[in-house]
Amino acid sequence: MLILGIETSCDETAAAILENGTVVKSNVIYSQIATHKRFGGVVPEIASREHLEKIQDVVNEAFVQADVTPFDLDGIAITQGPGLVGSLLVGINFGKGIAFAANKPFVGVNHIEGHVYSVAFEFPAPEYPALALIVSGGHTNLFLILEPGKYKLVGRTRDDAAGEAFDKVSKLIGLGYPGGPVIDRLAKLGNKRGIIFPLAEIKDQRLDFSFSGLKTAVLRYVREHHIEPVTDPQNPSPQILDLCASFQNAVVRALIRSVRRAAEIYHPKTLILAGGVACNSELRASLQHLADELHVPAYIPSPIYTTDNAAMIAAAGYPKLLRGECAGWEMSADLSLRLQNVDVESDTWKKKQRYRL
């Protein structure tokens, strides 16, 4: 079964051809980082215009690399939401055009579910229940996955997403956008215990995250210690190196703390880490260490599949198309699109878990 995936939820224009849900025939990504870098973040209007300019070339290249035509496809999977409305509409309408011209079915895919499916290419099918930590510039969520397509949101950020916190701190100290890669690089040269930043305490004991307080603590530290913005990112001061290392360590500790608590409650058989921040070296190592402690496998995709890409969208759309699902021509962008929220307290689910254990 050949599926074309199209992803345009934010600032990557991506297209991929997937065979039977796991075999990547092509995976083409055009990043807009260079365009938005001078603005210190993604500008929605500019992002949608650049998608319009690039999408035809990106999709064509995906077909060329896979050596197939639109008429060889069995279906098309398109990111429907959440994301930037203008960007989403570019991908949706372009995908509809191909579906109409080639007379192929198409389905809308939740971008977050796409990240869950980013593990489909390098790992065997996960054992369930699984815990999935999805971390990016726009999302920080912790899902309990009971079985394919059955999700329970057990933790989420109450303010900034983790990637957003990286970007804001990076901008504060003069390292520019995007902040995640440069802070990760410099953190390796600093002392992650040089500055003790407090972690947010969620009063109702939920598994949620909060990074606004950490961001404020960094701002206060910068002001109190009269730290000037970096002028040469290739030669930062030891103080900046320690700040990067300590900030990154605080973010990672907050994320892993919630995953650990969730694991104690739900006893997962697989841990999944995905989303753009899953490229962070300390987070990858820390989640692997936790998985080793729990004696469960850690599914951490290669960086090419952690950032926004269309292969994961095709993988998430595969089971829908396999079931014969097809969206109507009225399908549009849905900024509030959510994954199904299953009641893990139900007697049916509890009985099923006792049987599995």
Quick check: is 357 in a domain?
Answer: no
Quick check: is 135 in a domain?
Answer: yes
Quick check: is 162 in a domain?
Answer: yes
Strand order of the β-sheet with 150-156 is: 150-156, 140-147, 130-135, 270-274, 298-299
Please name every residue paired with 131 in a beta bridge, in sequence order, or none if there are none: 144, 271
Q: State whether 314 and 287 are in the same domain.
A: no
Q: State whether 22 and 67 are in the same domain.
A: yes
DSSP 6-24: EE-SSSEEEEEEEETTTEE
pLDDT at 60: 98
DSSP state of 219: H
Residue 190: Cβ within 10 Å count? 23
Q: State whether 197 and 257 are in the same domain.
A: yes
Quick check: is 337 in a domain?
Answer: no
Rounded to 5 degrees, what angle do the CA atoms 114, 115, 116 make? 90
Weakest mean pLDDT among 8-17, 194-203, 348-357 = 348-357
Task: Return the C-alpha torsion angle 122, 128, 131, 133, nearest 10.
Answer: 30
Quick check: is 34 in a domain?
Answer: yes
Q: Can you give the pTM of this predicted structure?
A: 0.92
Q: State whether 41 and 106 are in the same domain.
A: yes
Q: State whether 164 and 269 are in the same domain.
A: yes
Domain count, the chain: 2
Q: State whether 277 and 312 are in the same domain.
A: no
pLDDT at 284: 97
Q: State whether 229 and 270 are in the same domain.
A: yes
Domain that holds residue 142: 125-300
Please provide the average confidence, as pLDDT, over all residues in the chain.
Answer: 92
Quick check: is 343 in a domain?
Answer: no
Quick check: is 348 in a domain?
Answer: no
Q: What's the token pair of residue 289? A: 């260490």
Quick check: is 338 in a domain?
Answer: no
Find the helix or strand (DSSP H, E) in which 166 lies: helix 162-172
> Token match 């999977």: residue?
77
Q: State whether 254 and 239 are in the same domain.
A: yes
pLDDT above 70 (res 88): yes
Q: State whether 135 and 148 are in the same domain.
A: yes
Q: State whether 22 and 159 are in the same domain.
A: no
Distance CA 34, CA 188 (A): 24
Q: State whether 293 and 209 are in the same domain.
A: yes
CATH of the domain at 99: 3.30.420.40
Q: State whether 34 and 148 are in the same domain.
A: no
Weakest mean pLDDT among 107-116, 275-284, 299-308, 343-352 = 343-352
pLDDT at 346: 52
Weakest mean pLDDT among 12-16, 213-217, 317-321, 352-356 = 352-356
C-alpha distance from residue 177 to each of 90, 126, 250 (Å): 24, 34, 20
